[in-house]
């Protein structure tokens, strides 16, 4: 649309006791007090959740609510500190009902252009994870905002482990345009494992065959944190704030996310999004589960015990890679690495490399903040282990310079334990009992609702590699 065709709305309204000048032009709302103190606000239309006429106060609850022709409210979101978003509203009054109707209609028409915003959301709630308050999180932070934004939500509360995954594999989802969950990493994992296996079933693809291309689930997913660590939500939104997660779903903007599929000799065990760890973190996942009653503190308790124990684990790792260097690419979908992956361009130069040793921990990191590299950490002193964990827990973790850490970028890797089933794998926080595994990166397999986060911008986020 050329400039002169763009609608311009300009008017003075009453907001509380103040007169407010407001203009809407080129998709941006700007308002300010008519008299000092001036306080200009600018809100792009893509941050507006809905625009609604208000209702008149009813004298009796039994009477039908009547629209107030002189008031309307703009519901919008604003970025606050860091990567957090907050909900805000602006209620405006005008004595001329036509002015109110014209603003409401014009703004609502603009919002209709955001056709990717979800309208029928299937939301899974895991009442078991984290502080066991996922339903309260939905009621407190999600329900009101979804209603306000016109998103129809069907809530499904899980009754057992793997029920979400099984539901997604087998049920008709035609009536939903989007799927989301309130829970921790294990819940998110059930969601995308279910969706990928569903696509395999529908397309007749053998998911257990590592050489098969895995099909991309068609519906975008939303992630509302309600677990203990919420690593995936944190990596994607830059915060574990539930309101921010809900707003990212309502905005309807999407990002691509790589997944990694993990196999034993015969079957696909699981796909993961954040990190797969053997040794220290594998042991922590395994042992902390018996202290679930402690809530999120179980990780601190088990983590400390395992750190002091300082075990080493013998094994052999084979890495399939074309470049050992971890590349500093901030990929939000369709970067050069993704494109090459699709075209199978780089595969010819990939080679298997084998390493043997005794390790404190072996991790295959898929997204940046769980660990922005794929460290193979040699068995070393407790102090060094502590140094590593402190580095990993900082937002801009740099670990390559630690002498006992090796990092590689890889498309696939295999692990074989030299000392039997000495540890377990920790796969997105869930325990995986098979020791000898093979893992393969699946570029941009998942579509998630998020506008991304600043924490990742400019830092060494990887794409298509461990
Ligand atoms: N109704 C249920 N009863 C028991 N377990 C469930 C139920 N619904 C889901 N689960 C399982 O609960 C486990 C824990 O859930 P989740 O990972 O979401 O929370 P968490 O472990 O506290 O958080 P995080 O993984 O972020 O640390 C997962 O393995 C999930 O499959």
Tell me the average pLDDT of the chain: 86
Percent of the residues in the chain that have a pLDDT greater than 70, as a whole number = 82
The pLDDT, as a whole number, for residue 399 is 62
Q: What is the DSSP string of 23-74?
A: EEETTEEEEEESSSSP--EEEEGGGEEEEEEEEPPPSSTTSPP-EEEEEEEE
The pLDDT, as a whole number, for residue 92 is 98
The pLDDT, as a whole number, for residue 375 is 43
For ligand 1, atom 18, the nearest C-alpha belongs to: 184
Is 313's pLDDT higher than 60? yes
Residue 37: asked if its preceding bond is cis (omega within 30°), the reply is yes
The pLDDT, as a whole number, for residue 289 is 80
Confidence grade of residue 465 (pLDDT, cut at 50, 70, 90): very low
Token pair, residue 87, equals 């909900």
Average of pLDDT values for 101-117?
Answer: 97
Q: Which residue has the higher pLDDT, 247 or 324?
A: 247
Strand partners, 271: 261
Q: Which atom of ligand 1 is nearest to the CA of 231?
A: 26
Is 89's pLDDT higher than 90? yes
Ligand 1: lining residues by beta carbon, under 6 Å: 126-130, 158-161, 183-187, 190, 227-230, 429-430
Torsional class of 310: left (φ above 0), alpha (ψ -120 to 50), beta (otherwise): left
Q: Which atom of ligand 1 is nearest to the CA of 190?
A: 31
Is 173's pLDDT higher than 60? yes
Average of pLDDT values for 36-61?
Answer: 93
Confidence grade of residue 382 (pLDDT, cut at 50, 70, 90): low
Is 314's pLDDT higher than 90? yes
- CA 379 vs. chain centroid, Å, equals 33
> Domains in the chain, please, with CATH?
3-112 (2.30.29.30), 116-252 (3.40.50.10330), 260-466 (2.60.200.40)
For 422, list phi and psi in degrees, rounded to 5. -70, -35
Average of pLDDT values for 47-60?
Answer: 92
Q: How far is the CA of 44 from the centre of ligand 1 (A)?
A: 38
Confidence grade of residue 81 (pLDDT, cut at 50, 70, 90): confident
- Among 161, 232, 237, 275, the mutation site with the greatest number of ligand 1 atoms within 8 A of its Cβ is 161
Q: How far is the CA of 129 from the centre of ligand 1 (A)?
A: 4
- Among 123, 127, 129, 281, the mutation site with the greatest number of ligand 1 atoms within 8 A of its Cβ is 129
């Amino acid at each position: 649309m050329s400039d002169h065709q763009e609608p311009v709305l300009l008017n003075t309204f009453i907001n509380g006791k103040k007169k407010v000048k407001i203009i809407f032009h080129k998709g941006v709302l700007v308002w300010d007090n008519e008299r000092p103190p001036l306080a200009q606000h600018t809100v792009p239309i893509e941050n507006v959740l809905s625009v609604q006429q208000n209702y008149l106060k009813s004298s009796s609850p039994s009477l039908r609510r009547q629209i107030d022709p002189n008031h309307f409210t703009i519901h919008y979101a604003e970025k606050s500190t860091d990567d957090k978003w907050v909900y805000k509203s602006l209620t405006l009054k005008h004595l001329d009902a036509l002015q109110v109707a014209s603003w409401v209609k014009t703004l609502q028409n603009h919002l209709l252009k955001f056709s990717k915003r979800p309208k029928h959301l299937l939301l899974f709630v895991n009442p078991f994870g984290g502080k066991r308050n996922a339903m309260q999180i939905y009621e407190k932070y999600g329900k009101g905002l979804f209603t306000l934004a016109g998103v129809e939500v069907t809530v499904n509360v899980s009754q057992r482990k793997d029920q979400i995954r099984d539901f997604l594999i087998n049920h008709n989802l035609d009536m939903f345009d989007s799927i989301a969950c309130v829970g921790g990493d294990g819940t998110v994992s059930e969601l995308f494992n279910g969706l990928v296996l569903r696509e395999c079933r529908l397309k007749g693809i053998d998911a257990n065959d590592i050489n098969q291309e895995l099909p991309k689930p068609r519906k975008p997913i939303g992630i509302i944190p309600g677990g203990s660590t919420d690593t995936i939500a944190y990596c994607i939104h830059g915060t574990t704030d539930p309101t921010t997660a809900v707003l990212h779903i309502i905005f309807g903007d999407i990002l691509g996310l790589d997944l990694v599929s993990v196999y034993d000799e015969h079957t696909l065990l699981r796909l993961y999004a954040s990190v797969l760890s053997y040794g220290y973190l594998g042991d922590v996942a395994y042992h902390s589960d018996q202290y679930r009653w402690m809530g999120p503190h179980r990780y601190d308790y088990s983590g400390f015990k395992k750190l002091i124990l300082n075990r080493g684990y013998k094994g052999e790792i084979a890495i399939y890679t074309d470049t050992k260097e971890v590349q500093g690419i901030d990929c939000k979908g369709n970067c050069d690495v993704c494109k090459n992956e699709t075209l199978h361009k780089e595969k010819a130069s990939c080679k298997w490399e084998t390493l043997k040793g005794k390790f404190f921990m072996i991790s295959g990191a898929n997204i940046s903040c769980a660990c922005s590299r794929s460290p193979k950490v040699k068995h070393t002193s407790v102090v060094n282990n502590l140094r590593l964990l402190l580095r990993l827990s900082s937002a801009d973790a740099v670990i390559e310079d630690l002498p006992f850490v090796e990092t590689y970028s890889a498309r696939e890797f295999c692990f074989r334990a030299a000392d039997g089933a000495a540890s377990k794998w920790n796969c997105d926080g869930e325990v995986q009992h098979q020791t000898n595994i093979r893992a393969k990166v699946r570029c941009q397999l998942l579509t998630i609702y998020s506008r991304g986060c600043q924490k990742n911008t400019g830092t060494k986020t990887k794409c298509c590699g461990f």
